[in-house]
Structure 1
Amino acid sequence: MTLTDRIADVERRIEAACARSGRSREEVQVVAVTKYVSLDPTQEILQAGFRHLGENRWQDAREKWEAIQEEAIWHFIGHLQTNKVKDVVGRFPYIHSVDRLSLAQEISRKAVERGVTVNVYLQVNVSGEESKYGLAPEKLLPFARDVRELPGLAVIGLMTMAPYEAEPEETRPVFRGLRELRNELNRAAVFSEPITGLSMGMSNDFEVAIEEGATLVRLGSVLLRSE
């Protein structure tokens, strides 16, 4: 399949998932995950209309970021070490992997220093897998209360990663769990305004994630072939 074919297939699948769940297509944002591809295919996906790009590590993103810069809207979607915050804040307006207070505080400190506001998702390990990062669900509420007043940091939603399943339907409880956690935060009025974002769903399971309320899906292999 060509890139055009892959984009058309993904769009068809997103629209179908939205229709099945009674949602508008405009409610779902696609982040094209370019972490495994070089500059040329990244520019190709950008030219195809995908402005939101996702990267996992600054050292892998650097060449692409320096070439593209603000032509794209950059999302940092990988585990972020505190000592790497200096490389990310000011370049990536979205960070999806905030899961500990020391990291949130360092993002806040660098954001204030650089005069920017960073939009963050709090990462929750809904599945409980030891191999995955993220807060335990029962720790989300106190953590959210700890970070809500940090300057330069705007909590806009929650993020999770589901286990890879041969049958995507088996991921549904994970995505439903994240949506329920977001609703619990909003019922508790932790933030001054309700949060709406749910960053969940990848190439293998994005349709199920959309049916469960994903507002942002992170798509790599289904769109981009690694070299």
Structure 2
Amino acid sequence: MGQVADNLAAVQQRIEVASVRAGRAPGSVRLLPVSKTHGPEKIREAYDAGMRIFGENRVQEAAQKAELFADVPDLRWAVIGHLQTNKAKDVATFAEEFHALDSLRLAEALDRRLHQQARSLDVFVQVNSSDEPQKFGVAVENAVDFAVALRPYQNLRVRGLMTLAIFSDDAEAVAGCFRRMLEVQERLRQTDTAAGSYDELSMGMSGDFELAIAYGATTVRVGEAIFGSRLRPQDYWPG
């Protein structure tokens, strides 16, 4: 057992405790380890500890890692950061999940590239629950219309919603973001014209995932609490 494995066990225990505290069944929250800026050896340690899917922000970095681990058939990749449309072709070749869908132009590009690859992709609609201008994501008030507009894109399997809560020590401000996600989710569940399903909520990171679980998170994206502080690219990827 190395440090990554120990950290994983500690985070998984915290997830289970938070789930029970929230009155939820053990195992109802999925852990998505975020391996961005960390090298292959840490991913391998997490894999050996039982993890089978990893989250990456940068497409080029994720593609390099996917190629490096191409001989590991059950290792999967989720792209969780903002995506430019010209990178859609890359994501379509290797990713199993995309957690930051926030424009129809991007949806069309992904759908077209996936069709060419004869693949499909699980996607989460990113919602700007904090209404911060510097953040990507669909506005809360536009989320339902956006979900309806995704219906034509048959290669995108809409699984739910994703958000980044406000970065703050004010727990009520953070909780407000998660509460708004529950409200959006409920509106979508009552809309029979929205694409896909909306049972999934991808929200909560190292600093707030326990609070996110209290508000219904089904996937928590945890990086630093597992892998440690982020590195500079030149420190983990030669060249």
Per the normalisation by structure 1, the TM-score is: 0.94
1:168 positional shift: 4.2
Partner of 2:78: 75
**Residue 199 in structure 1 maps to residue 194 in structure 2:** no
**In 2, Cα distance between equivalents of 1:60 and 1:187:** 39
Structure 1 segment 63-102 matched on structure 2, within 5 A: 63-69=64-70, 70-102=73-105
Going from structure 1 to structure 2, the CA distance change for 1:178 and 1:122 (only over 3 Å counts) comes to same
The 8 Å contact of residues 99 and 135 in structure 1, kept in 2 or not, is answered as: yes
Residue 34 of structure 1 aligns to a residue whose secondary structure is: coil
Partner of 1:183: 186
Residue 31 of structure 2 aligns to a residue whose secondary structure is: strand
Partner of 2:177: 174
Structure 1 runs (4+) greater than 3 angstroms displaced: 167-170, 191-194
After superposing the two structures, state which structure 1 stretch, 147-156 or 63-72, moved more.
Answer: 63-72
Residue 96 of structure 1 aligns to a residue whose secondary structure is: strand
The 8 Å contact of residues 124 and 158 in structure 1, kept in 2 or not, is answered as: yes
1:5 positional shift: 2.8
After superposing the two structures, state which structure 1 stretch, 33-42 or 185-194, moved more.
Answer: 185-194
Letter of the 2:24 counterpart: R
Letter of the 2:62 counterpart: A
Going from structure 1 to structure 2, the CA distance change for 1:13 and 1:169 (only over 3 Å counts) comes to farther
Residue 94 of structure 2 aligns to a residue whose secondary structure is: coil
1:25 positional shift: 2.3
The 8 Å contact of residues 39 and 63 in structure 1, kept in 2 or not, is answered as: no
1:193 positional shift: 6.2
**Residue 132 in structure 1 maps to residue 139 in structure 2:** no
Deviation track 1:139-197 (CA, whole Å, cap 9, x = no partner) reads: 11111111122121111100000122235454111112112101101112234764211
Q: How many residues align?
A: 227
**Residue 54 in structure 1 maps to residue 38 in structure 2:** no
Partner of 1:9: 10
**In 2, Cα distance between equivalents of 1:150 and 1:193:** 10
Going from structure 1 to structure 2, the CA distance change for 1:138 and 1:56 (only over 3 Å counts) comes to same
Residue 44 of structure 1 aligns to a residue whose secondary structure is: helix
After superposing the two structures, state which structure 1 stretch, 63-72 or 9-18, moved more.
Answer: 63-72
Partner of 1:121: 124
Going from structure 1 to structure 2, the CA distance change for 1:192 and 1:82 (only over 3 Å counts) comes to closer
Deviation track 1:13-70 (CA, whole Å, cap 9, x = no partner) reads: 1111101111112211111100120111111111111111000112122331112133
Per the normalisation by structure 2, the TM-score is: 0.90
**Percent of aligned positions that are identical:** 37
Residue 89 of structure 1 aligns to a residue whose secondary structure is: helix
The 8 Å contact of residues 160 and 199 in structure 1, kept in 2 or not, is answered as: yes
Partner of 1:42: 43
After superposing the two structures, state which structure 1 stretch, 204-213 or 43-52, moved more.
Answer: 43-52
The 8 Å contact of residues 150 and 194 in structure 2, kept in 1 or not, is answered as: no
Structure 1 segment 12-27 matched on structure 2, within 5 A: 12-27=13-28
Going from structure 1 to structure 2, the CA distance change for 1:108 and 1:193 (only over 3 Å counts) comes to closer
Residue 27 of structure 2 aligns to a residue whose secondary structure is: helix
After superposing the two structures, state which structure 1 stretch, 173-182 or 205-214, moved more.
Answer: 173-182
